[in-house]
Amino acid sequence: MKTVLLIDFGSTYTKLTAVDVDNETLLGTAAAYTTVQTDINDGLKAGLAALNKKTGHSTYDECYTCSSAAGGLRMVTSGLVPELTGEAARLASLGAGAKVVGVYAFQLTEDDLQDIQDSNPDIFLLVGGTDGGNTECILHNARMLASIKPTFPVVIAGNRTAARQCQRILEGCDVYVCPNVMPKFGVLKIEETQKQIREIFLNRIIQAKGLSKATELLSDIMMPTPSAVLQAMELLAQGCDGEPGIGELVAVDVGGATTDVYSVADGMPEHMNTVYKGLPEPYAKRTVEGDIGMRYSIQGIVDAAGIDRVSRLSGLTCQRAEELIADLKEHTDKVPNGDPELEALDFALASLAIEEAVTRHAGTIEETYTMMGQTFVQEGKNLTKVQQIVVTGGSLIHTARTEQIAAFAQYSPKKPASLRPKQADVWVDRTYILAAMGLLSQHYPKTALRIMKKELEFYGNSEQADSRRRVSETASGSAEPVAHG
């Protein structure tokens, strides 16, 4: 039996997963508080002790790790036009597993530089202009960055005509040059830039965040946690080596501070009379909503949905819902623990978090008229035909109402312009193995895929799935489901 240990150093918890790769089985999972502020080994040892009690193992043949501890991979991007090179830079950063803490377009100002210094990113991504196009903006921004002598690495991935000149302007800084993320108008080319970002993460950032303290145990520290999850989603959707995947999917991870959404789907227009607007998006896409979360970002859910909807979905009065929300803001570690009011409130908040986050992630379509007659304009990804939804996060896995919450990721006649999935089955990651399987897939892809297909709870063509769909339809109509009904 060959055993592999997979570790995810999260911002709050260090999550451990042990697998037997020969028999393609999950041996056990465990978690402990991440102790990155002191010695990361303390939390790791506590997690290992808990895991070893479950598995009976004390040593492992191999060990691989991902991390979002100490803020994860924090990036700032700068492009020319917000909807074009600026968006390409943002997509490249998110797909590499970063948390984008600043996005700038056009020429940087002195105020922008102060904000960038205050945010102290791990990496700055400098782009702008198609190849052979505008060079003035990216050169100006390189000079502005050079003036503050950045201590963070700068990745240049803009107009190839100006890239080496930008590198010379930033001489003395830690600079990397990659191919243009948008070499031609409407063409997205972000793979090389993402690879470079991950290499910087491995070579520099894990040292700065103290993760190198754990290297005696590890075979490799491989990638940021969101990047590992995206790898797992690509594998689960597409399959490998004769082992089929489950098809195009949308995945949602609802956390305490953020909500991450992933889609592995083509997403292009389906009909001849639909025109695509904007930059084509990657087949495997990730977005993160920093203002949508169950505790630290709870107000973002209320702001997006309104307290009236929270009240209707939870069955609580607006006043009572506001009282409980105020308490959760102060006590972010509070969980329902059988409290019916908190369970009802968490159901409403999680449902609305998924609805808002997936709506932002998915594309939109609008009707217009031209000389040729009726035409539709699509912007972003069309996910209406996606038939699989994968969900995880504490508010979804510690409840019996996971399907009902997941239903809010689907299309609603109340928002007819949103291109969310119209009808989908649900897969639930109740043991937090997605990041671990993304890590495992780097060496054992077929094993990782088979473990996911066995371990993720599936709610498909069954009475439960039909019930979930009825709840979704009700939520889309005049009456919404309530927690006590």
pLDDT digits (tens, 9 = 90+) for 332-375: 888 898 999 999 999 999 999 999 999 999 999 998 887 777 88
Spatial CA neighbour of 266 closest among 281, 253, 252, 246: 281
**pLDDT digit string (tens) for 69-93?**
555 578 899 988 887 888 888 888 8
DSSP codes joined into one string, 324-371: HHHHHHH-TT---TT-HHHHHHHHHHHHHHHHHHHHHHS-EEEEEEET
Mean pLDDT (the chain, rounded): 85
**pLDDT digit string (tens) for 109-141?**
999 999 999 988 989 999 999 999 999 999 999
* Cβ atoms within 10 Å of 43's Cβ, excluding its own: 22
DSSP codes joined into one string, 140-198: HHHHHHHHT--SS-EEE-S-HHHHHHHHHHTTTS-EEE---SSSSTT----HHHHHHHH
pLDDT classification of 478: cutoffs 50, 70, 90: very low
Query: Could you give the percent of the chain with pLDDT greater than 90?
Result: 52
Measured CA to CA, the distance from residue 282 to residue 267 in angstroms comes to 9
Specify the pLDDT at position 466: 45
Specify the pLDDT at position 126: 95
Give one word for 184, left, alpha or beta, with left for phi > 0 and alpha for psi -120 to 50.
beta
- Whether 485 has a pLDDT exceeding 50, the answer reads no
For residues 22 and 2, the answer to whether their CB atoms sit within 8 Å is yes
Q: In the predicted model, what is the mean pLDDT of residues 225-243? A: 92
For residues 315 and 301, the answer to whether their CB atoms sit within 8 Å is no
Measured CA to CA, the distance from residue 95 to residue 93 in angstroms comes to 5
Comparing 17-21, 72-76, 192-196, 235-239, the range with the smallest average pLDDT is 72-76
Specify the pLDDT at position 85: 82
DSSP codes joined into one string, 241-283: TTB----SEEEEEE-SS-EEEEEES-----STTEEEESPPPPS
Residues of the chain with CATH 3.40.50.360: 73-203
Measured CA to CA, the distance from residue 394 to residue 430 in angstroms comes to 8
- Whether 223 has a pLDDT exceeding 90, the answer reads no
Q: What fold is seen in the domain 73-203?
A: Rossmann fold (3.40.50)
- Give the tokens for residue 463: 């009475």
The residue with tokens 């108008």 is 185
The helix or strand, by DSSP H or E, that contains position 101, with its residue range, turns out to be: strand 98-105
Q: What is the per-residue burial (b if ≥16 Cβ within 10 Å, else e) of 62-81?
A: bbbbbbbbbebbbbbbbbbb
Residues of the chain with CATH 3.30.420.40: 3-70+209-218
Specify the pLDDT at position 331: 87
Measured CA to CA, the distance from residue 299 to residue 319 in angstroms comes to 15
Point out which residues pair with 239 in neighbouring strands: none
Specify the pLDDT at position 473: 38
Q: Long-range contact list for 473-479, CB < 8 A, 24+ apart?
A: 475/313, 475/351, 475/407, 475/408, 475/412, 476/411, 476/412, 476/413, 476/414, 477/413
pLDDT classification of 190: cutoffs 50, 70, 90: confident
For residues 10 and 1, the answer to whether their CB atoms sit within 8 Å is no
- Whether 50 has a pLDDT exceeding 80, the answer reads yes
For residues 408 and 396, the answer to whether their CB atoms sit within 8 Å is no
**pLDDT digit string (tens) for 243-300?**
999 999 999 999 888 899 999 999 888 888 888 887 788 899 988 888 888 988 899 9
- Whether 449 has a pLDDT exceeding 90, the answer reads yes
Distance of CA 418 to the CA centre of its chain: 19
- Whether 36 has a pLDDT exceeding 90, the answer reads no
Measured CA to CA, the distance from residue 441 to residue 213 in angstroms comes to 25
Greater confidence (98 vs 192) lies with: 192
- Whether 213 has a pLDDT exceeding 70, the answer reads no
Largest Cα span, the chain: 72
Amino acid at 56: G
pLDDT classification of 477: cutoffs 50, 70, 90: very low
Angle at 161 between CA 159 and CA 162, to 5 degrees: 75
pLDDT classification of 39: cutoffs 50, 70, 90: low
CATH superfamily of 3-70+209-218: ATPase, nucleotide binding domain (3.30.420.40)
Amino acid at 51: L
